[in-house]
Amino acid sequence: MGIKITVIGCGRWGTFIAWYLDRTVDGAVTLYGREGSQNMERLQRSRSNGQVTLPKSVRLVTDFEAAADADIVIVSIGSQGLRGLMAQWAQTENSFCCKAVVLCMKGLEIETGKRLSQIAEEYLPCPVAVWLGPGHVQEFYRGIPNCMVIDSREDELKRRLVKAFSSDLIRFYYGADLLGNEIGAAAKNVVGIAAGMLDGLKLSSLKGALMSRGTREISRLIRAMGGDELSAYGLCHLGDYEATVFSRYSHNRQYGESFVREEAYSQLAEGVHTVRALMRLAGEYGEELPICAAVYRVLFEKEAPADMLGSLFLRSLKDEF
């Protein structure tokens, strides 16, 4: 008998994950979306969200009780909604009957600075894993491969997930630093916003410096928090820069560009939430995060983007390392 998998979240990533696992894993895949959500209603009408078309073998449900009945549950929602989802799930009749939960999402809780696995572990009796790394739905769906990482405190869970989820389209690596991978994955979205701001200011040539210095400051934070600073140079952070700092599909990059051009942008940009949490962690662990701080001041303290980013990259006189 195959694996029963439920994907919670019918946005672009959740829908893609359901499509991907349906063609990769020996088992049955269910995709859950809230009753009345525009994404689910569109999928129910046409089985397509405009980017991915789901085969009939993927079951669509709006019943949360039915969604919880699975061997593995994969969560792909906005980071700030995770605690509410966990609280809701804990109250269901089928509360956490699954064997594992996989978080395919990137971010930090604003109010506490907690990593998403920490939030899930407050509620879950089953092991938690994270699925992180580069790639865009549009490219995966066209057959363009990439590499990603799965990490967990449970080594056996990592092995089972990597074996079950790997394919010619996605090659998975075993993570070895849950803290570092989660911090790095969340922080790369802030660097993506900074990259978009540089694009909007016609300073795109500074992206090389942004990538170098951004990786360095996040590696210091990871080390201060007790993780492996080399994680910042892996797939979770530096390895995700092409997809975040340069790609036209990057919501965070596009948000930063739209912001400095004073244009409206309606898509979710997780880096806006993450930068607030990172400022909390920077104070808590006594680490300077110049790029993150610059993005924060531009977004929330009305600093002029040109002045802030220009001073950050063009007027710094200091040793590189």
What global pTM score does this model have?
0.94
Concatenating the DSSP letter of every residue in 11-23 gives: SHHHHHHHHHHHH
Residue 104 has a pLDDT of 97
Residue numbers of the domain that contains 183: 178-314
DSSP 57: T
pLDDT, position 65: 79
CATH number, domain with residue 233: 1.10.1040.10
Residue 172 in tokens: 């998975």
Structural domain includes residue 321 = no
Q: How far apart (Å, rounded) are the C-alpha atoms in residues 14 and 39?
A: 11
- Dmax (CA) of the chain: 63
Domain boundary among 147, 174, 201: 174
SS3 of residue 184 by DSSP: helix
Q: Are residues 219 and 252 in the same domain?
A: yes
The answer to whether residues 125 and 247 belong to one domain is no
Q: Are residues 169 and 258 in the same domain?
A: no
Q: How many domains does the chain have?
A: 2
Q: Is residue 169 located within the same domain as residue 182?
A: no
Strands (E), the chain: 3-8, 27-32, 59-61, 72-75, 100-103, 128-132, 146-152, 170-174
Per-residue pLDDT of the chain (321 residues; tens, 9 = 90+): 689 999 999 999 999 999 999 999 999 999 999 998 999 999 999 999 999 999 999 999 998 877 777 899 999 999 999 999 999 888 876 666 778 999 999 999 999 999 999 999 999 888 999 999 999 999 999 999 999 999 999 999 999 999 999 999 999 999 999 999 999 999 999 999 999 999 999 999 999 999 999 999 999 999 999 999 999 999 999 999 999 999 999 999 999 999 999 999 988 899 999 999 999 999 999 999 999 999 999 999 999 998 887 777 765 556 565
Q: Which of 133, 155, 174 is the last residue of a domain?
A: 174
Task: Give the model's pLDDT for residue 149.
Answer: 98
| Token digits of residue 276 | 């607030």
Do 82 and 197 fall into the same domain? no
| 87 domain residue, yes or no | yes
Query: What tokens were used for 48?
Result: 């397509």
Q: Is position 167 within any domain?
A: yes
Residue 28, amino acid: A
Give the catalytic positions in this structure: 188
Q: What is the pLDDT of residue 316?
A: 57
